[in-house]
Amino acid sequence: MDLSPKQIVNELNKHIIGQEEAKKAVAIALRNRYRRAKLSPELRDEITPKNIIMKGPTGVGKTEIARRLAKLVKAPFIKVEATKYTEVGYVGKDVEGMVRDLVECAVRLVKDEKTAEVRVKATDVAEKKMVKILADLKKNDRGETPREIFEANLLESLRKGVFDSLVIEADVKDEPRAMELVPGGGAINLGSIFGEMLPQKRKRRKLTVKEAMRLFIDEEAEKLIDDDAVTEEALRRAENDGIIFIDEIDKIAGKESGNIDVSREGVQRDILPIVEGTTVMTKYGAVKTDFILFIAAGAFHVARVEDLIPELQGRFPVSVELQSLTKEDFINILTNTEHSLTQQYAVLLAVDNIDLKFTPDAIEAIAEISEEINLTSEDIGARRLHTVMEFLLEDISFNAGGGDYPVVPVEIDRKYVEEHLSKITKDRDLKKYVL
């Protein structure tokens, strides 16, 4: 996607409040990918991504920035926890698994795009198949009606959703379940390993017309898609557009303590070749990690970035610090983001005919309380708003629904907030005196 760094930041601003330094860093990294793609192959191979390390408390937007960035450009993206991996020689997840997971993500992404391209054609074939089933099921209703007209009427009713809840019997593809052969390792699908050596199994199932249509469309789309082209494009995207977000990297950054735990430095040394650039074998083929963008993150309350081994530090040349959220940030999160928390609760309760509104002074009170709780207890960033909002709206959510009532307007003001969050504020005040 041809977006300038400023445009990328503007897109991120729709979902994430503050943290301008981090947004600028990822925007530049993304734009550099576009710039690199325009170069000659000789120069392109010389330019590697400038990996980023983010440090800051939980809930301030580290993961969300990376996730929204990947979604913006439709890039393969995975988030992994550094603490899930273990040094070679111990039972646990292999660090190369993160690259395999990225390739799986890329395959799903490309397959979804190719499916969308052939969906109209696949739907047409699936509808014909379903009409035959319905015509056989309702043959007693046909009477003297010509077969073509009868089937045309069935097709029209099918498209209108008349038969959506009708239960039928249909032969569908039997998908073999993936099995985890090694504890902590990835799941393995024997059917995908042996491919066409094993005959394709089908089984008869009872299911609704709506569900059967979904399965029929997926089956027909799969027949129309070139799997080799999907694999080739997925590998290209994983190598050149892939983003791997390594969270909790501070947990493996401490100095060695000499205990019997798995060596944290050992995990760093296992991650190092992946970040430096190596070739990882996957079931779809070999993948080079040289041009994958790595974004690492951690709170770094105890450990520091400098506690990482020097070789790994050198592979993350861009370091940005994210700030704790302030009262103004909380107000902006509640009012100026797409699908904000206040909007989410409003549409949820609208299902039960509650017209929920928040006054500006109520938003301000919620922001004040959230900020103060973060200051006096654990700082969990924007996640604190979920706790406060759930507590605030507990009574309304509990009493709503259960009958066909007219729309009831409910306005939340500062007085309501202070009354219903009094327990939280009392606990907060008492903590000032606890040593």
Residue 50 lies in a domain: yes
Question: In whole angstroms, what is the distance from residue 368 CA to residue 373 CA?
Answer: 9
Contact between 191 and 198 (Cβ < 8 Å): yes
Q: Which residues of 77-111 are buried (b: 16+ CB within 10 A; e: fewer)?
A: bbbbebeebbbeeeebbbbbbbbbbbbbbbbebbb
Nearest to 277, CA basis, from 46, 104, 109: 46
The number of distinct structural domains making up the chain is 3
Indicate whether 341 and 392 sit together in one domain. Answer: yes
Q: Both 307 and 372 in a single domain? A: no
* CATH code at position 408: 1.10.8.60
Q: Is residue 434 part of a domain?
A: no
Q: Are residues 179 and 218 in the same domain?
A: yes
In a domain, 376, yes or no: yes
Residues 356 and 407 in one domain: yes
Alpha-carbon span 303 to 273, nearest angstrom? 22
- Based on the fold, state whether residues 203 and 262 are members of the same structural domain: no
CATH number where 24 lies = 3.40.50.300
pLDDT mean values, one per 10 residues, the chain (435 residues): 86 90 91 89 89 90 88 89 70 79 94 92 92 87 84 90 88 67 52 56 84 91 92 94 91 63 76 92 93 92 87 92 91 91 93 92 93 87 91 90 80 91 68 42
Q: Are residues 130 and 218 in the same domain?
A: yes
Q: In what order do the strands lie in the sheet with 293-298?
A: 77-81, 243-247, 293-298, 52-55, 318-321
DSSP codes of every residue in 102-121: HHHHHHHHHHHHHHHHHHHH
Residues 62 and 112 both lie in one domain: no
Residue 241 belongs to some domain of the structure: yes
Q: Show which of 321, 339, 366 is a domain's final residue.
A: 321
Residue 10 lies in a domain: yes
| Measured distance CA(135)–CA(148) in Å, rounded | 10
The answer on 393 and 249 residing in a single domain is no
Q: Residue 94: its pLDDT value, please? A: 81
Q: Helix 383-392 to helix 327-335 angle, to the nearest 10 degrees?
A: 70
- In this structure, the answer to whether residues 117 and 212 fall within a common structural domain is yes
* 223 and 253 co-located in one domain: no
Q: Which of 200, 215, 231 is the last residue of a domain?
A: 231
Q: Are residues 176 and 31 in the same domain?
A: no
Q: Is the pTM for the entire model greater than 0.85?
A: no
Strands (DSSP E) along 327-379, which ranges? 354-358
Domain membership of residue 433 (yes or no) is no
390, part of any domain? yes
Domain assignment present for residue 432? The answer is no
Domain closes at, from 321, 352, 367: 321
The residue segments making up the domain with residue 196 are 108-231
Residue 308 CA to residue 298 CA, distance in Å, equals 12
Distances (CA, A) of 186 to 93, 131, 292: 8, 41, 21
Whether 222 and 258 map to the same domain: the answer is no
